Amino acid sequence: MTDQSPELTWHGDVPVAPRFDGPYFSLGDGLAETRHVFLAGNGLPERFRDGFQIAELGFGTGLNLFTALHAWRAAAPHGRMHFTSFERFAMPVADMTRALAVYPEIAALAAPILDTLDISQTCLRAEAHDLSLRVILGDARRTVPVWGGRADAWFLDGFSPAKNPEMWDTSLLRAVARHTRAQGTAATYSAAGHVRRGLADAGFDVARRPGYGRKRHMTVAQMP
């Protein structure tokens, strides 16, 4: 069971988490940020194939999921995308809907999936003809190590390492590595030195790339 729903404030239509003193996505353009960091950072949509598994730390508003699904449908590969997210503080669906409404193309494909989610459960599930979604609720330091899957791509999207250090814990990054397929990738907006070292120590080949907006750098990683 998730610890609790997050406490939220709003900066316009962008939800902000006082607990972590940060917005859930860029105040400038969250959709462009997701496409730059998590899609391009993982070489997507070029790598999509039937059964492609994305895993994520921090479901939040669902923007990363629905941006990936939008890209999947535009690329039109055969089969289904699998998406597994690990979330401790599940946002109410009404708040997800409000946050996503600023991006009409994303909100339209999100609506029928969000309608099926019940955040009172320990694992949220949704199915579509081209998507299998699981959102595993609880502390990722406990839920990732016992996950039965392995990812082709990771979206590492916890709040700032300075404000949300448990999501960047070295033991959690090692669990991420153990649940990554050979040649699998990871991407994050963070370029913090201890995050890059943690990924390298876990077994990834790590590199810095230009970040989004005002962020000078971001981090990408690949499992040999």
pLDDT per residue as tens digits for the range 53-111: 999 999 999 999 999 999 999 998 899 999 999 999 889 999 999 999 999 999 999 99
Q: How far apart are CA 93 and CA 139, in angstroms?
A: 20
Burial of 94 (0-12, 13-18, 19+ CB in 10 A): exposed
pLDDT at 160: 85
Q: What angle do CA 190, 39, 161 make, to 5 degrees?
A: 15
pLDDT value at residue 1: 38
Contact 2, 135 (CB under 8 A): no
Exposed e or buried b for every residue in 16-35, given b needs 16+ CB within 10 A? bbeebeebbbbeeebbebbb
Distances (CA, A) of 157 to 49, 56, 60, 79: 23, 7, 9, 26
Look at residue 26 in the predicted model and tell me its pLDDT. Answer: 84
Which positions of the chain have pLDDT values less than 50? 1-2
Of the candidates 110, 186, 114, 183, the one whose C-alpha atom is nearest the C-alpha of residue 144 is: 186
Whole-number pLDDT of residue 158: 87
pLDDT for 5 equals 67
